């Protein structure tokens, strides 16, 4: 019985159930819809933004939102805030995606190996301990000190910081799946460890990896904004929501709205991922606690 239920194809056969579950969750659907909009904005940035993000209009600084030609107003250099935000969303997603990619590509194999072979577990555990000993900001500080602050360094720092959690999630899943009947069956049929890992364990761990990716993404987006805000991430004149906030804090009393819109942007991106991620987790795992 159990074998037919949790076959490697479990993800595929569960697709209908997941769709159904997502349909039943209005918040999840809203998150999904927001996600689509955010991704479209990032991809179509050059088409959506009316100006180049670094185009200055010295004659019209500190325009209020709703001014003709400048939907969300302008900043201290007269740059169009809406255009800068559109490109800022793009930068946020770029860093977020790079960070998730890094943690998945490095964390998944290590988690699988550590979970499957006990003798590797200790070595991988030390590796995660050492990585966890460095808060991401400290990794970012180190990378910025060594090779200067940049988008790539921000993404690498965030990625490294998230590898340990990915390893732990995948390792936990591997330990669980390793005990299932179909893996024991494969072992008695003399399948090699690597073969079992890739044909049995990985497909069954996929849902946990995807959910973890949706957890990492918003954290990475906030992390990028934070690093750029501190001057450790993306460098001007490249627009980033974090840089916009840090600029806006300097003239906050003259033009408070310049500090409000980029924050709303970051919050909406994160909200989209959090809502969608929660719904996805509920869909994958019917016993999940956030389900009513």
Partner 1 sequence: MLRYVGTRLWQSVLTLVLASLVVFIGVRQLPGDPALAMAGEEATPEQLAAVRSSLGLDKSLPEQYLAFLGRMFRGDFGNSTRTGTPVTDLIATTLPVTLWLAAYAIVVAIIVGIAFGVIAERFRGRWPEWLTNAFALIGLSVPNFWLGILAILYLAVTLGLFPASGYVDVSREPVRGLYYLTLPAIILGTSLAAVIMRQTRASMIETMSTDYVRTANAKGLGAGRVLFRYGLRNSLIVVVTIVGLQLGGLISGAVVTERIFALPGFGKLTLDAVFTRDYPVIQAVVLIITLSYIVINLAVDVLYSVINPRIRVGGNN
Return the number of the residue (210 or 252) whose C-beta is nearest partner 1. 252
CB of 18 to partner 1, least distance (A): 21
Contact (Cβ atoms closer than 8 angstroms) between residue 228 and residue 84 = no
Rounded CA-CA distance 286/200 in Å is 21
Phi, psi of 91 (to 5 degrees): -65, -40
Return the number of the residue (27 or 44) whose C-beta is nearest partner 1. 27
Give, as ranges, the residues between 47 and 86 that touch partner 1 (CB under 8 A): none
Q: Give how many residues touch partner 1 by CB under 8 A.
A: 47
Give, as ranges, the residues between 197 and 236 that touch partner 1 (CB under 8 A): 218, 222, 225-226, 229-232
- Based on the shown chain and the rule CB under 8 A, indicate whether residue 144 belongs to the binding site for partner 1: yes
- Based on the shown chain and the rule CB under 8 A, indicate whether residue 184 belongs to the binding site for partner 1: no
CB of 16 to partner 1, least distance (A): 27
Rounded CA-CA distance 267/261 in Å is 10
Binding mask 256-275 for partner 1 (x = CB under 8 A): x--xx-xx--xx--xx--xx
CB of 214 to partner 1, least distance (A): 13
Rounded CA-CA distance 22/286 in Å is 12
Return the number of the residue (161 or 213) whose C-beta is nearest partner 1. 161
- Based on the shown chain and the rule CB under 8 A, indicate whether residue 24 belongs to the binding site for partner 1: no
Phi, psi of 24 (to 5 degrees): -80, 0
Return the number of the residue (193 or 263) whose C-beta is nearest partner 1. 263
DSSP string, 201-232: IHHHHHHHHHHHHHHHHHHHHHHHHHHHHHTS
Return the number of the residue (6 or 232) whose C-beta is nearest partner 1. 232
User: Exposed, middle or buried by CB within 10 Å (0-12, 13-18, 19+), for 58?
Assistant: exposed
- Based on the shown chain and the rule CB under 8 A, indicate whether residue 146 belongs to the binding site for partner 1: yes
DSSP string, 93-148: HHHHHHHHHHHHHHHHHHHHHHHH-HHHHHHHHHHHHHHHTS-HHHHHHHHHHHH-
Contact (Cβ atoms closer than 8 angstroms) between residue 263 and residue 85 = no
- Dmax (CA) for the chain in angstroms is 77
Residue ranges in contact with partner 1 by CB under 8 A: 126, 129-130, 132-138, 141-142, 144-147, 161, 172, 175-176, 218, 222, 225-226, 229-232, 245, 248-249, 252-253, 256, 259-260, 262-263, 266-267, 270-271, 274-275, 289-290, 292
């Amino acid at each position: 019985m159990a074998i037919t239920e949790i076959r490697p194809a479990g993800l595929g056969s569960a697709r209908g159930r997941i769709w159904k579950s997502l349909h039943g969750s209005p918040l999840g659907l809203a998150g999904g819809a927001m996600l689509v909009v955010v991704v479209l904005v990032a991809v179509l940035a050059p088409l959506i933004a009316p100006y180049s993000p670094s185009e200055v209009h010295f004659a019209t600084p500190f325009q209020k939102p709703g001014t003709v030609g400048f939907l969300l107003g302008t900043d201290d250099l007269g740059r169009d805030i809406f255009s800068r935000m559109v490109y800022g969303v793009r930068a946020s997603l770029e860093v977020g995606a790079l960070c998730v990619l890094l943690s998945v590509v490095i964390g998944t194999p290590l988690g699988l190996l550590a979970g499957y072979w006990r003798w590797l577990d200790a070595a991988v555990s030390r590796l995660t301990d050492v990585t966890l000993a460095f808060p991401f900001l400290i990794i970012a500080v180190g990378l910025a000190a060594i090779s200067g602050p940049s988008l790539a360094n921000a993404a690498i720092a965030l990625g490294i910081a998230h590898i340990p959690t990915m390893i732990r999630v995948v390792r936990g899943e591997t330990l669980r799946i390793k005990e299932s009947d179909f893996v024991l069956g494969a072992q008695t049929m003399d399948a090699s460890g690597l073969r079992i890992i890739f044909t049995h364990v990985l497909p069954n761990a996929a849902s946990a990896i995807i959910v973890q990716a949706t957890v990492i993404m918003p954290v990475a987006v906030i992390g990028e904004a934070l690093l750029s805000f501190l001057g450790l991430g993306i460098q001007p004149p490249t627009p980033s929501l974090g840089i916009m906030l840090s600029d806006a804090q300097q003239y906050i009393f003259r033009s408070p709205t310049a500090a409000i819109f980029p924050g709303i942007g970051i919050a909406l991106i994160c909200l989209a991922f959090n809502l969608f991620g929660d719904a996805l987790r509920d869909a994958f795992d019917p016993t999940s606690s956030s389900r009513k």
